[in-house]
Amino acid sequence: MKILVTGGLGFIGSHTVVELQHQGFEVVVIDNLSNSSEDVLDGISAITGKEPIFENLDLRDKKKLNGFFEKYPDIRGVIHFAASKAVGESVEEPLLYYENNLGVLTYLLQELKQKGNGNFIFSSSCTVYGQADSMPITEAAPVKPAESPYGNTKQVGEEIIRDTCNVNPELKAIALRYFNPIGAHPSAKIGELPLGVPQNLVPYITQTAIGIREKLAVFGDDYPTPDGTCIRDYIHVVDVAKAHVIALQRLLEGNNATNYEVFNLGTGTGSSVLEVIKSFEKVSGKKLNYNIAPRREGDVIQAYADTKKANTVLGWKAESSLDEAMKSAWEWEQKVRS
């Protein structure tokens, strides 16, 4: 059975391709290499023994996308990762973000609607909750006004899918709201490859430890948390990838309760920035150079998932610890720079 993975050479996409192949799916990847490299195909095939079919295509090209679905009429499911994801850039270039993340989404849904069947998995984010009023965050927590055009594309993206599913019963979709995916495949053959200066904590830590960055700035230590630094729910990317396969199987087997569902993907445990640093130092045996810096604009104080719905309804649970995730991130960083 063929499954389309858009953005399948990116960080979460590539790990999902691996898990799909482990489960026997035939994978077709669409990626425009805007934030990834064709070398990732080698990493995937080194792990699974099989290279996915690859189409270098920009999803904004509606004609080509239509041609793609004509070429592969036997696609039974779509996992849609392809999107722009830099929060700061989205503030500078809102139209680019709305076109890439929302225009493209409407094109994909139009194709699936035309096909008359569609099993669609969407990359959403816990940013839709903003600063939630209580922890842990359940899927019933209200969606708060987005802090950036990027965040808004996740909220509006979910609404576009929900509204489309509402009137097209042949379309089935699941939105997965990720908390903070980190780490790399334990083989160190695929992992995160941020372009330029990393915006996210864990790649910044590993790049500092390997000597590419001088020092990590910890953004604020005066938050109302036990050690004063922000709290997030860091989840191993392989756990996130496995959740996509389970969600897809749920749709393919018709086990979904409604034709649009939403699940949190987190571990359920919150960790502070200082705890993440400690974990890194423990698993790497290296002292990290860091200092306390002013707060970063737009950061919420804390966000961690209530995972009950994913655990019970989806039948998925995060398996890896923070230490395991940090260890894999560090092994990947060393491999990439060697």
Residues annotated as catalytic (active site), given as ranges: 150
What is the x/- site pattern for ligand UDP, positions 126-165, by CB under 6 A? ----------------------------------------
Q: What residues numbered 176-195 form the site for ligand UDP, per CB under 6 A?
A: 180
Taking CB under 6 A as the rule, does residue 219 contact ligand UDP? yes
The beta strand positions in the chain, using DSSP E, are: 2-6, 26-31, 53-56, 75-80, 118-125, 171-178, 180-182, 216-219, 231-232, 234-236, 260-265, 271-272, 290-293, 302-303
Taking CB under 6 A as the rule, does residue 206 contact ligand UDP? no
Among 18, 216, 243, 274, binds ligand UDP (CB under 6 A): 216
**CB of residue 6 to ligand UDP, shortest distance in Å:** 21
21-23-28-33 Cα dihedral, nearest 10 degrees: -50
**CB of residue 28 to ligand UDP, shortest distance in Å:** 29
State the Cα–Cα distance between residues 14 and 8, nearest whole angstrom: 5
Taking CB under 6 A as the rule, does residue 225 contact ligand UDP? no
State the Cα–Cα distance between residues 309 and 323, nearest whole angstrom: 25
Taking CB under 6 A as the rule, does residue 230 contact ligand UDP? yes
- The number of helix segments (H) and strand segments (E) in the chain equals 12, 14
Taking CB under 6 A as the rule, does residue 252 contact ligand UDP? no
- Burial (Cβ within 10 Å: 0-12, 13-18, ≥19) of residue 134: exposed
Amino acid present at 169: P
Among 273, 277, 322, 329, binds ligand UDP (CB under 6 A): 273
**CB of residue 12 to ligand UDP, shortest distance in Å:** 13
CA 300 to chain centre: 19
**CB of residue 211 to ligand UDP, shortest distance in Å:** 16
Taking CB under 6 A as the rule, does residue 123 contact ligand UDP? no
Among 106, 200, 225, 311, binds ligand UDP (CB under 6 A): 200
User: Do 105 and 159 meet the contact criterion of CB atoms below 8 Å apart?
Assistant: no
Closest CA to 244 of 176, 157, 291, 150: 176
Q: Which residues pair with 263 in a beta bridge?
A: 176
Cβ proximity to ligand UDP, 154 vs 250, nearer residue:
154
Taking CB under 6 A as the rule, does residue 173 contact ligand UDP? no
Cβ proximity to ligand UDP, 229 vs 256, nearer residue:
229
128-133-138-140 Cα dihedral, nearest 10 degrees: -70
Site stretch for ligand UDP (CB under 6 A), options 29-37, 157-165, 210-218, 237-245: 210-218
Number of residues that bind ligand UDP (CB under 6 A): 14
Positions that interact with ligand UDP (CB under 6 A)? 180, 199-201, 204, 216-219, 230, 232, 273, 296, 299
